[in-house]
Structure 1
Amino acid sequence: MTKTKGLKRVLAATALAALSAGQAAAQDVTFRLAHWLPPTHPVQTMGMTEWMDAIKAASDGRIDFQVFPAQQLGAAPDHYDMTRDGIADIGYVNPGYQAGRFPIYSLVEIPFHMDNAPRGAKAMHEWYAPIAEEEMSDVKFCLANPHDPGTIHSKTEVKLPADIQGKSVRPAHATMARFVSMLGGAPVQVPAPEAREAIANGTADAITFPWGSIYIFGIDSETKHHLDMPFYISAQLMLLNKAKYDGLPDDLKKVIDDHCTPEWSQKFSEGWAAEEASGRDKMIESGEHTLYAPTEEEVQAWRDAAAPLLEQWTSDVGEGADGYYQGYVDALEANDAKF
């Protein structure tokens, strides 16, 4: 009897261990993360990698990632729907690639609001996270990631808003496309990975881009004139598929929640912002580029030209627009990120 009982205990213990191991294995998860940038881009090599590594460590390796860069799972404008539909578990999304779909969000695209990307990322997260629960209710908002303030880079000199008249311009997003049209230019709307081709083949005469990305995407040989003025931002979002998130055990949900915070939006954005800012210095040092610093009066002319964008945004959003606007401005000022 003793031997039989002992054998039963061993078998029971073995079965329990196997069951526990099976349960643990069932709780392990790999997130398919899709983005549309090249794998060498600072967003992946810096902020994204740091974020993923922190989650892996915090979950004791139970959360892992499979990264699909360079539009491998779908075109850049499709990344929101890809995330919603589960083609990707996490999507790096530029909502501005889909005009009119997220009207409240598009406030961040209007020029002359944010002058610092990392602090602005934190402010934007604080402001937009509760709004996203309604405006992007079919995904889970995680992080905000604006680039360092960008400007206009062109084949011929651009000093004033009137210089856009008659030019074809690749805009960063729908709001900048509207601005180009307001100034008498023709927007050439292609996502960032296709921007160089548009400039190189003459489809576009100019581009709105952050400084470093001119080099990252090989556009430095095509645009030699640059408006030396912090102007606008394009803010990408890290979004999660809701079903994937909801299917996590509570302890892994907490790991994700702990890495979807305003502080992480700031940290995620720091490396890329520094890399973008360094592009301006590189242009100056090269001696191959002409940077034009507008006067105070010329800066004001650009501000005045952009003012109707806010009026249009207010009209598009309708009820509650004033409160959304004030909330955004307050968040920027609280984080020392306001122009």
Structure 2
Amino acid sequence: MNNLKKLCTLSAIMAFGVAAMPVKAESLRLGDFQSTSHIVSVEGTTRWMTAVEEATDGAVTFQHFPSQQAAKSKAQLDAVNNGILDVALLGVLYHAEALPLNSVVGLPGFYGSASQGTAALQTMLKEGPLRDELLAAGVTPIFGFVLPPYQVLAKKRLGAPADWAALDIRTSGSTQAMTARSMGAVGISIPGPEVYTAVERGRLDAVLFPLASVPGYKLNEVVSHISTNGSFGGYSFVMAVRTDLFNGLPADVQAKMIELGDETATHVAKAQDDSVEGLLAEWKSQGIETYDLSNDELAALRDSMKAVGEDWQTRIGGEGSHAVLNRYRSLTSN
């Protein structure tokens, strides 16, 4: 069934009343690169899909394609625009070329928890340059959330910038690669599902990763040291629907998808924050050294990374990057 027919079916069902119509709408094809066991999927994507299906009495249903089944992590946006998918949970930093302003979340030293960062992102997705950039890319943002601040996972303790010199560090996108370079390391972009093997085989010396996401990739099995209080950047997800499809849905369906998206964003952020304490205790029991960076180490790292924001503005260019960075800073300053 082509997209036009699908939209007509959805519209007819909602127009005449879902309960009165025995016909079930076609499912929307939703892709992402997370596994179904990942906290982002359990408390985010899956939770939202179920809530939307229940709230619309089955007028909107989903076919879920997790773990890169429909498209690789860097191809999710193209898959939506090309009609392979209808909806995608975009890992925004994988699409920095098409969504450069949205990569602001990757800058180090801003939000201190997933809940704080998610509240800031949700505000910026409602109106302004981040939303406009997604719309220009052919998709409508339904909701967004962030992972907890990135920490460093390695086979040795990494503290001050001197410890990082010439190491190959897994980073997510160009913004985080700048963070690695600011400390003298080399940023290497490798999709999440491939990181385990890269560390195990010695292709990577360390990984910048949010702690709540570690179990989803079992990285605790291949590292021995994990920092707990660093601020090496962030990562954002945006649930996006192809704009022509979304605009063809009835207004009440659109509103319900967004309302439930807002609730899901808040929920998945808190779930991630809550999970970290238990994970740290578990890893300690496994013999992993989880450590706080000292005040001197944090000061040295901040000094090394302070130019990343300026470099980001220069690379992105235009007044938009300056406005976005100032807005992001104001929303994450408390």
> Which interval holds the TM-score relative to the shorter structure?
0.7 to 0.9
Instruction: Between 313-322 and 81-90, report the one with greater CA deviation.
Output: 313-322
Contact conserved, 1:226 with 1:290, CA < 8 A, in 2? yes
- Distance in 1 (CA, whole Å) between partners of 2:181 and 2:17 is 60
Aligned twin of 2:304: 305
Q: 1:268 to 1:142 in 2, by over 3 A?
A: farther
Aligned twin of 1:136: 134
- Distance in 1 (CA, whole Å) between partners of 2:74 and 2:282 is 30
Q: 1:34 aligns with which of 31, 53, 57?
A: 31
Contact conserved, 2:143 with 2:258, CA < 8 A, in 1? no
RMSD: 2.3
Aligned length: 314
Is residue 2:170 matched to residue 1:170? Answer: yes
- Distance in 2 (CA, whole Å) between partners of 1:180 and 1:133 is 28
User: What is the correspondence of 1:1-339 to structure 2 with a 5 Å cutoff?
Assistant: 24=21, 28-130=25-127, 131-137=129-135, 138-231=138-231, 232-261=233-262, 263-286=263-286, 288-315=287-314, 316-333=316-333, 338=334
Shift of 1:99: 4.1
Gaps (5+ residues) in structure 1? 1-18
Given the two structures, how large is their TM-score scaled by the length of structure 2? 0.86
- Specify the SS of the correspondent of 1:87: coil
Shift of 1:76: 0.6
Aligned twin of 1:10: none
- Distance in 1 (CA, whole Å) between partners of 2:296 and 2:69 is 46
Shift of 1:162: 1.7
Shift of 1:85: 2.3
- Distance in 2 (CA, whole Å) between partners of 1:115 and 1:161 is 21
Alpha-carbon displacement from aligned partner over 1:132-170 (angstroms, at most 9, x marks no partner): 342112100111121122200111221111211121111
- Specify the SS of the correspondent of 1:259: helix
Shift of 1:272: 3.2
- Distance in 2 (CA, whole Å) between partners of 1:123 and 1:293 is 26
- Distance in 2 (CA, whole Å) between partners of 1:180 and 1:97 is 17
- Distance in 1 (CA, whole Å) between partners of 2:196 and 2:149 is 19
- Distance in 2 (CA, whole Å) between partners of 1:317 and 1:266 is 32
Shift of 1:21: 9.0
- Distance in 2 (CA, whole Å) between partners of 1:248 and 1:90 is 13
Q: 1:29 to 1:79 in 2, by over 3 A?
A: same
- Distance in 1 (CA, whole Å) between partners of 2:95 and 2:37 is 25
Contact conserved, 1:212 with 1:280, CA < 8 A, in 2? no
Shift of 1:245: 1.1
- Distance in 1 (CA, whole Å) between partners of 2:330 and 2:308 is 19
Shift of 1:106: 1.5
- Specify the SS of the correspondent of 2:30: strand
Shift of 1:25: 6.0
Contact conserved, 2:48 with 2:261, CA < 8 A, in 1? no
Contact conserved, 1:79 with 1:93, CA < 8 A, in 2? yes
Q: 1:230 to 1:25 in 2, by over 3 A?
A: farther
Gaps (5+ residues) in structure 2? 1-14
- Distance in 1 (CA, whole Å) between partners of 2:273 and 2:40 is 9
Q: 1:248 to 1:27 in 2, by over 3 A?
A: farther
Aligned twin of 2:5: none
- Distance in 1 (CA, whole Å) between partners of 2:260 and 2:212 is 27
Letter in 1 for 2:298: V
Instruction: Between 306-315 and 323-332, report the one with greater CA deviation.
Output: 323-332
Query: Percent identity, aligned pairs only?
Result: 22
- Distance in 2 (CA, whole Å) between partners of 1:264 and 1:258 is 9
Instruction: Between 161-170 and 222-231, report the one with greater CA deviation.
Output: 222-231
Shift of 1:27: 7.7
Shift of 1:277: 4.6
Alpha-carbon displacement from aligned partner over 1:6-62 (angstroms, at most 9, x marks no partner): xxxxxxxxxxxxx96999467834221111111111112222222222212221221
Shift of 1:270: 2.5
Q: 1:193 to 1:133 in 2, by over 3 A?
A: same
- Distance in 2 (CA, whole Å) between partners of 1:227 and 1:46 is 25
Letter in 2 for 1:81: D
